[in-house]
Amino acid sequence: MSKSKYGINTICTHIGEIKDEQFKGAVSPIYMSTSYQFDNVGVKRYPRYFNTPNQEHLSKKIAALEHTETAMIFGSGMAAVSTTLLAFLKTGDHIVVQNTLYGGTSNFIKEEFPKYGIEFTFTDGYEVTDFEVAIKPNTKVIHIETPSNPLLTITDIKGVADLAKSKGLITTIDNTFASPVNQNPVDFGIDIVMHSATKYLGGHSDILAGAVACSNAHMEIIWNVAKNLGGSLSDFTVWMLERSMKTLVLRVKAQNKNAKKLAKFLDGHKDVKNVYYPGLKSHPQYELAKSQMKGFGGMLSFELAEGLDAMQFQKELKLIKSSMSLAGVESTVLSPHKTSHALLTQEERDAIGVSDRLIRFSVGIESKQDLISDLEQAISKVKKSKLQTQELKTS
């Protein structure tokens, strides 16, 4: 673990800046070259080696935010996840993974690992004991994701990290949902932190990127695979990401605040059955969340009351958009049963609590009252339709 001497807002604004020595401009210049002079020390600079000036500098910002020695930028969150897992697993190895993961990660494991002869076990639950019973003699890695998607379940980061250490296993976490503003897994003993930078790090729904943060020793292993798989990011987008990350803390704190207020509003609404948000005292793991998160994040889920149509609800929303992705400054919603969990059977969805009335809500930075009014008017329209259908049936 390595801590910067600067506060988090200063890290976002200044760490990883490239000084514009020539023109004294206020922001980092972009170096778009894919060809660099081979210097006598033998440094080979090439974008796919993840060592162009913009890549190297932005990595410093991400490492400082995650309290790690180093970091690396990837072309997507999936490039970061797939490269990292493949770096620590080979034929005959086994990985223990948390039972609910981002759909893309889950598909990657299920579809690709069998081709490499890598074994995997999805845990039955989220308790440390669920991870412990899944460990085998050939286990090498434990992979977690907390808060989980879409029900915001919390995994005990320190508990899992301690378990892994006692067995000599490597731990990896997908920290996308929390962002480094709300959660620093390395402080609790996790080895490797991954991000889909497409989400909070980018924050404006216009950048596809990924990142990994860890020790120099682990990064060397990851880099050796990364250069072969080639999942690097264009320097223009690296520069865009640096620009976006200057306001990371401001954005995420505004999203935390809005999400908490909206979670409370929905929780007290008679037409909403369940609200899933780790910052609500009624969340079964509120205490655990409080012990490992600095803020509770901008993601929440809620289930409309029985008989209310979630698809119609989304169509009725005027300000809040329906969207496949998340974490932008604009508020968005989606139906997990139609999107991320569409490939599961109804029974499988029921088993994990993803009903067809569940809405995942990525809370943005809009004025709270406007979001509440939008939710309110959409709910009342869906209720009206429900009453009309009931009248039709009885008449």
Ligand X SMILES: *Cc1c(COP(=O)(O)O)cnc(C)c1O
Among 174, 191, 242, 316, binds ligand X (CB under 6 A): 174
Which phi-psi region, left, alpha or beta, contains residue 260 (left: φ > 0; alpha: ψ -120 to 50)? alpha
Using the minimum distance from each CB to ligand X, give the nearer residue, 119 or 145: 145
Which phi-psi region, left, alpha or beta, contains residue 24 (left: φ > 0; alpha: ψ -120 to 50)? left
Using the minimum distance from each CB to ligand X, give the nearer residue, 85 or 272: 85
Supply 152's token pair: 């915001």
Q: Alpha-carbon torsion 165, 278, 71, 4, what sign?
A: negative
Q: Does 210 bind ligand X (CB under 6 A)?
A: yes
- Stretch of residues binding ligand X (CB under 6 A), selected from 70-78, 265-273, 280-288, 306-314: 70-78
Q: Does 298 bind ligand X (CB under 6 A)?
A: no
Using the minimum distance from each CB to ligand X, give the nearer residue, 198 or 301: 198
What are the φ and ψ backbone dihedral angles of 318, each rounded to 5 degrees?
Answer: -105, -40
Q: Does 76 bind ligand X (CB under 6 A)?
A: yes
Q: In the complex, what is the shortest distance from the CB of residue 294 to ligand X, in angstroms, rounded to a whole number?
A: 18
- Cβ–Cβ under 8 Å, residues 332 and 320: yes
C-alpha to C-alpha distance for 173 and 392, rounded to whole angstroms: 51
For β-strands 321-322 and 332-334, DSSP reports them as parallel
Q: Does 72 bind ligand X (CB under 6 A)?
A: no
- Stretch of residues binding ligand X (CB under 6 A), selected from 9-17, 195-203, 288-296, 334-342: 195-203
Residue bearing tokens 């029900």 = 151
- Cβ–Cβ under 8 Å, residues 274 and 153: no
- Stretch of residues binding ligand X (CB under 6 A), selected from 41-49, 76-84, 295-303, 339-347: 76-84
Q: In the complex, what is the shortest distance from the CB of residue 336 to ligand X, in angstroms, rounded to a whole number?
A: 12
What separation in angstroms does the CA of 264 have from each of 251, 253, 259, 282?
A: 20, 17, 8, 10
Supply 353's token pair: 């609590």
Among 199, 218, 341, 360, binds ligand X (CB under 6 A): 199
- Of the candidates 188, 256, 163, 244, the residue with the CA atom closest to the CA atom of residue 211: 244
Sheet with 119-122, strands from edge to edge, namely 70-74, 210-214, 192-196, 170-174, 139-145, 94-97, 119-122
Could you say which residues in the range 99-138 bind ligand X, by CB under 6 A?
102, 104-105
Active-site residues: which are they?
Answer: 48, 102, 174, 199
Q: Does 335 bind ligand X (CB under 6 A)?
A: no
Using the minimum distance from each CB to ligand X, give the nearer residue, 31 or 362: 362
Among 146, 196, 205, 301, binds ligand X (CB under 6 A): 196
Using the minimum distance from each CB to ligand X, give the nearer residue, 131 or 177: 177
Among 51, 54, 83, 176, binds ligand X (CB under 6 A): 176
Among 28, 83, 198, 244, binds ligand X (CB under 6 A): 198
**Interface ranges with ligand X (CB under 6 A):** 76-78, 81, 102, 104-105, 145, 149, 174, 176-177, 196, 198-199, 208, 210
